[in-house]
Amino acid sequence: MKVQNLILVATCLYLAYTQLVDGQPRKDCQTSCGTVTVEYPFGISQGCYYADDLNFKLTCNEKEKLLFGNNFEVINISHSGELRVMNNISYTCYDSQGNSTDAAYYTYTLASVSLQQNKFTIVGCNAYAYLSTYGIQNYSTGCISACDSPPAANRGCNGAGCCSTDVSVPSDSKKFRTRSFRLENTTSVYDFNPCTYAFLAENGTFHFDALGDLKNLRNVTEFPLVLDWSIGHQTCEQVGNAGICGTNNNTCFDSNSRAGYNCKCLEGYEGNPYLSNEQGCQDIDECTTNNTIHKHNCSDPSTCRNKVGGFYCKCRSGYRLDTTTMSCKRRDFGWATILLGTTIGFLSILLVVSYVQQQMKHRKITKLREKFFEQNGGGMLVQRLSRPGTSNANVKIFTEEGMKTSTNGYDESRILGQGGQGTVYKGILPDNSIVAIKKARLGDNSQVEQFINEVLVLSQINHRNVVKLLGCCLETEVPLLVYEFINSGTLFDHLHGSLFGPSLTWDQRLRIAVEIAGTLAYLHSSASIPIIHRDVKTANILLDENLTAKVADFGASRLIPMDKEQLTTMVQGTIGYLDPEYYHTGLLNEKSDVYSFGVVVMELLTGQKVLCFERPQQSKHLVNYIASALKENRLHEVIDEKVINENNWKEIEEAVRVAMECTRVTGEERPLMKEVAAKLEGLRVTKAKHQWSDQYPGDEAGNLVGVGILSEQGDTSSTGYDSIKNVASLHVAAGR
């Protein structure tokens, strides 16, 4: 009996799993709540709604009201991508002296508000209201209504007692708030208009009644609101056959108002286009007499013949169908037949010419791609990869077509950033992995060999704190580099931007500094060919979801031959971070990166930008600013107050000293990068030792220091990479 029960349970689980994999709901799903029909992709219980998006989960409460999101009552669901819900009104009430006595306003988290189907309205005299949205960009719009007495007649919502405007908000808005106010020094309207109101409502659902609505609109607590919905965040082209459309008499179309796509039945079919079973898109029999919605247009009903996806009018032998009147007429031959034959012949010739032109265009594009491939060093790269013993299995050469598809034709919405080394796009590869695609900038053909060397060397760097180079595309006029995608912005954004949460703590800043230092030390000392980054700055340090530092943008980097300690190059870098000695001499060496790193550490310590023209004349540059503070014994004034506490001041002072050593004017006086990494790692080891000492005083704490260090190194979210472990002993090994 137990075995039979186990088999039954396993069978049920398999069937449920099969339904979820097929993207279809269970057979026993609840299909209505009250008077509202619930159809897939929306659903009420597990396995009944589109599993990839919880926004399709609805709730049927004890009053048989269908609820969406934050308790919004659903009144209608449209297959075409519209959801109608009931939306509360916001209001503010005042006494006879103009003081606010009661107010209600709401912040909603919803899918995209339909821009075409809704209006923003304010009701009240001498009042104004605004609609604020929150998304990638915050946005506000509003309306003003003015009147000193009740309007004499209901003339619509034209600005006297009522103001209405179209909804014009960014499509990425995830939250919105409506709120109303009275204009200042306005008390004369209290008797007939004690409150002001603001709300979003579906077009045509609110009709202004001057006397009733100005006196008390609160008797009406909510209005219908139209929301747009779609499946996923990809276009139909991107999702391909992986979507839930296009498998059963239905098709996919891109949403016009938001990311994602919707489904619709093909012409001649009706039903739920998101289902593939008998409830999905089924053929319409246009010839039935009781079909009043999808009627045929044959003049004689007896000639109508149904076919899958449509109908046709069948004439008896010797008659033809007149498509103008949809009636059968006797056939006539002659000039019409000749004209038809001539037209068909002409169209055939056009088709052949068009085909030949397309083939010639394709051949021209192919030759151009081959030209660019060779011009950008493709042959050289293939030759290097084919050499015996070359360990470049991870280098992938992408096609131009693949890059164009993954960036949606290099759409501007895919741009992640632009700088001196090129433009970076967000790309989605066929396996749905997200990458960063950079259009590199080459000066001339003489740099091709060095570019290929950089691709080969960087592709072999296996360091957890270096953004991984996945491959390149050489079929375009400007080469494309493909990197792993880091999703939490740059260190510059976290220090100076407003899009992220709480400020970085001291422990996080020190860890990030240690990770950057260890990475640069690895590039200088332990890479197969020493690499000088040449553009170290906070904007080129990416942070992942764990705030782990990732050194990026090697477009300006240079490979240092083993027999040379420095190179003479055209000066390149970012003002403020640029080594002054390199700037004046043009001689590039690893100490140039040391200087830039010192500036980054100062930025981490102070939270201030490298160049600030609001500071005194001699302190506009951050290095001079800190040097002046040290000289005048006022270091507390320049260190970011968010990171200072009574336990870490000595660590901060030591970090300042390290930064000052790195930014000495003469490169010979600066320490090596591995020495800098060792000093900063020493600060973390000392901190860990003090923490163990506080927890285990006396001799026992001394025995636990080693354990504490091992624990610190084993935590991948704090230290966690081998090169840093070895920095403390002044030896930098491979990254992972």
Q: What are phi and psi of 718, to 5 degrees?
A: -115, -70
Q: Please name the amino acid found at residue 290.
A: N
Q: Please report which residue ranges of 445-579 form alpha helices under DSSP H.
A: 448-460, 491-496, 506-525
Q: What is the Cα–Cα distance from 650 to 645, expressed in whole angstroms?
A: 10
For residue 694, count other CB atoms closer than 10 A to its CB.
Answer: 10
Would strands 162-166 and 118-123 be described as parallel, antiparallel, or unpaired?
antiparallel
Would strands 469-473 and 396-397 be described as parallel, antiparallel, or unpaired?
parallel
For residue 573, count other CB atoms closer than 10 A to its CB.
Answer: 22
Query: What does the buried/exposed string (b/e) look like for 484-495 if buried means 16 or more CB atoms within 10 Å of the residue's CB?
Result: bbbebbbbbbbb
Chain length of the chain? 736
* DSSP 8-state assignment for residue 711: H
Q: What is the Cα–Cα distance from 371 to 88, expressed in whole angstroms?
A: 63
Which member of 53, 213, 283, 535 is catalytic? 535
* DSSP 8-state assignment for residue 667: G
Q: What is the Cα–Cα distance from 144 to 163, expressed in whole angstroms?
A: 6
Q: Which residues contact 499 (CB under 8 A, 6 or more apart)?
A: 489, 493
Q: What is the Cα–Cα distance from 601 to 580, expressed in whole angstroms?
A: 17
Place of tokens 């039935």: 288
Say if residues 304 and 313 touch (Cβ distance below 8 Å).
yes
Q: What is the Cα–Cα distance from 42 to 49, expressed in whole angstroms?
A: 5
* DSSP 8-state assignment for residue 217: G
Say how far residue 539 (Cα) sits from the centre of its chain: 19
Q: Please name the amino acid found at residue 700.
A: E
Q: Which residues contact 546 (CB under 8 A, 6 or more apart)?
A: 716, 717
Residues paired with 82 in a beta bridge: 78, 228
For residue 419, the surrounding DSSP H or E stretch is: strand 415-419
Q: Please report which residue ranges of 124-274 form alpha helices under DSSP H.
A: 210-216, 236-239
Query: What does the buried/exposed string (b/e) look like for 512-533 if buried means 16 or more CB atoms within 10 Å of the residue's CB?
Result: bbbbbbbbbbbbbbbbeebbbb
Say if residues 684 and 510 touch (Cβ distance below 8 Å).
yes
* DSSP 8-state assignment for residue 539: G
Would strands 422-428 and 139-145 be described as parallel, antiparallel, or unpaired?
unpaired
Q: What is the Cα–Cα distance from 491 to 626, expressed in whole angstroms?
A: 20
Q: What is the Cα–Cα distance from 358 to 363, expressed in whole angstroms?
A: 9
For residue 689, the surrounding DSSP H or E stretch is: helix 673-695
Place of tokens 């075995």: 3
Q: Residue 422 has which token pair?
A: 């090129």
Q: How far apart are the first and last CA of the chain?
A: 53
**HEC profile of 545-614:** CCCCEEECCCCCCEECCCCCCCEECCCCCCCCCCCHHHHHHCEECHHHHHHHHHHHHHHHHHCCCCECCC
Instruction: For residue 7, count CB atoms less than 10 angstroms from its CB and return exposed for 0-12, middle for 13-18, buried for 19 or more.
Output: exposed
Say how far residue 137 (Cα) sits from the centre of its chain: 13
For residue 104, the surrounding DSSP H or E stretch is: strand 100-104
| 228 labelled catalytic | no
Residues annotated as catalytic are 535
